[in-house]
Chain A
């Protein structure tokens, strides 16, 4: 079945609403407007205002309400328009959702799913375009998912709802329109393991979410130049599937991490550190990173493009790593 990432996500929401009465969706504009990325378009008509609820513009308020609902036995899916806005709910997410199980001595799980858009590339300016998932990846008590493919867009939500603890799903804004084939019987997918999206032997390209397509593009270009790049899609940003990363680096001896987020203190920094800690003697070249420029995301198209990782930059970094740099 030909479909889009947006439609796959909507199918996942619809399935969740159908399968479990405790599931409901809430967030700004998710109902009457159909979601600002049209993911929930039509669901209000299908499931009614009890299950698809528009909220006031108060992230702290409705995320807090979601936590309360989860504590009381519901399975809320809370949508935050962009990861930038989630900072208004940071206290709820970090101090409540992530901490309650621990603080209650294991008595209170918070089975909450929060979806949010992340990333740049659509000329939305600095306040709508950042990739802050790395910050959340710092927080124990949270699981972070980054679906990059139609299968994962379709399948991760249900698995996340089945998790008794808070799960954050980061959907890169540039992926919604991505089209492709999805099996008619596509359903829940595991959320524990990273996936090797392209096998290779010369260098490991590690990425997730919105930078997966350009990384695969880079791998294809590298193949034309005789460099077999392995592409790892992390899928789960916390906890990291270290095993897959280390095993790949042990095969290729070189790693390039592609992350749209800023380099300093980022998820890419964490991955690079783990490789240095646990695969040091496998390395035949320094771990390289291709990250977003450390500036608030510019609005003008050419500047935004310049600030973001590109396939060309990934190719250059990989060639450098394999000793074939210009």
Chain B
């Protein structure tokens, strides 16, 4: 049972996505797990052949409990009965118990203490000191969310303590601002299409329980209260000229079936990610050491959930995606967020978050920064507006973009650069 959030202690498998005898690969989805907050898909950490289930459906087990046995490809896969909830210091985290033939690095990671996710958001193994691991397990901190300042970028005790201090009660890093109108983040998405089998087997996946909505709201509220209390926000806004973007969008969409069409948000989010990469002080985390910039851009996207509440899963490396790829991933992400099928890496890794009002139609949104991030981009309704230029009045597609940024890290000048860069990028949307 992997840790799917900083404060997750227990989870229960509500659906198996693999069957004994199935060959699976690292990253394949193997089960749907119900946490206190939502349903999440669990990815396999290994390649192998599914042996047997080690926990029963709907049985709540502690984080770290092996849930599935796995054999090396080609090896006889027999079900395993042993449950090993705990080594000294705690349960092993790997969903599949480590196989003897696993490569050393894998085995080492698999034997680590609980609540320690194997891959970082970036897919690397988390490098941390043993003390940091132990402490993170005690404090329920997800090491994948901690920025390392130790040797070779490893996470030290101090880093974990900082993370713990920065985010008590952090529900799942990446929750978007509270206190805003419920906004349907990215624009209309095609009806989500969970596989029929899944929908049939796990009806719970479709609508989060009411209690969960309330607890999600509570933890979100606590996080936002902390954000407003500890982060000195400043706010900027600008009106984006999206005439060129509108033209490119229309041109591209003409040739596509409705289901494949791009929406303005794809360009806006891509530009937001690229600008975050280029303008210092917007992308990364605030720690006790100060600002810890990230050289990758994982763009959190606020998604309104059916039944209430918000999540802000990340589009990993959003700045490197083409607009088409980003659109595709966005669609997938929104669908899964609403189906309660987010992967842990998506929930834990945002380096900056964008909130888009999409088609719900307010002009501007001034967001609340998600700690420990340092900036929040707000994108208002994209609509035709009167536009004066060169002494002439015309009608253009436009939208109000806002930036809420952390004054400890940047100031109005840097923030202005960000919004200016955002506009520049959108003036040549074909290059995005």
Contact A281 B156 (CB under 8 A): no
| Residues of the A chain whose Cβ atoms lie less than 8 Å from the Cβ of B156 | 284-285, 323
Contact B131 A284 (CB under 8 A): yes
Residue of A nearest to B158 (CB): A323
List chain A positions with a Cβ less than 8 A from chain B: 253, 280-286, 320, 323, 325
By secondary structure, the A interface counts as loop
B89 within 8 A of A: yes
Cβ contacts B21-48/A at 8 Å (1 or 0 each): 0000000000000000000000000000
A282 to B135, CA, bound (A): 10
A283 to B129, CA, bound (A): 6
- Given A253-B157, A323-B156, A323-B158, A285-B134 contact (CB < 8 Å): no
B150 within 8 A of A: yes
Contact B89 A284 (CB under 8 A): no
Q: Which 6 A-B pairs have the closest CB atoms?
A: A284-B131, A284-B129, A284-B157, A281-B134, A281-B130, A283-B130
Give residues of chain B (399-420) contacting chain A, Cβ–Cβ below 8 Å: none
A280 to B134, CA, bound (A): 10
A325 to B133, CA, bound (A): 22
Contact B89 A285 (CB under 8 A): no
| Residues of the A chain whose Cβ atoms lie less than 8 Å from the Cβ of B150 | 284-285, 323
Contact A280 B130 (CB under 8 A): yes
B132 within 8 A of A: yes
Contact B132 A284 (CB under 8 A): yes
Cβ contacts B215-246/A at 8 Å (1 or 0 each): 00000000000000000000000000000000
Sampled A-B contacts (14; CB under 8 Å): A253-B131, A253-B157, A281-B130, A281-B133, A281-B134, A283-B129, A284-B129, A284-B132, A284-B150, A284-B158, A285-B129, A323-B151, A323-B158, A325-B151
A284 to B130, CA, bound (A): 6
Residue of B nearest to A250 (CB): B131
B320 within 8 A of A: no
A284 to B157, CA, bound (A): 6
A325 to B149, CA, bound (A): 11
Residue of A nearest to B150 (CB): A323
Contact B151 A286 (CB under 8 A): yes
- Given A253-B157, A323-B158, A281-B131 contact (CB < 8 Å): yes
Give residues of chain B (125-144) contacting chain A, Cβ–Cβ below 8 Å: 129-134
A253 to B133, CA, bound (A): 13
| Residues of the B chain whose Cβ atoms lie less than 8 Å from the Cβ of A253 | 129, 131, 157
A282 to B129, CA, bound (A): 9
Instruction: Write the nearest CB–CB distance from B93 to chain A, whole angstroms.
Output: 15
A286 to B127, CA, bound (A): 12
Contact A282 B151 (CB under 8 A): no
A34 to B149, CA, bound (A): 57
Instruction: Write the nearest CB–CB distance from B94 to chain A, whole angstroms.
Output: 19
Residue from A281, A283, A286, A323 in contact with B149 in the complex, judged by beta carbons closer than 8 Å: A323
Contact B149 A282 (CB under 8 A): no
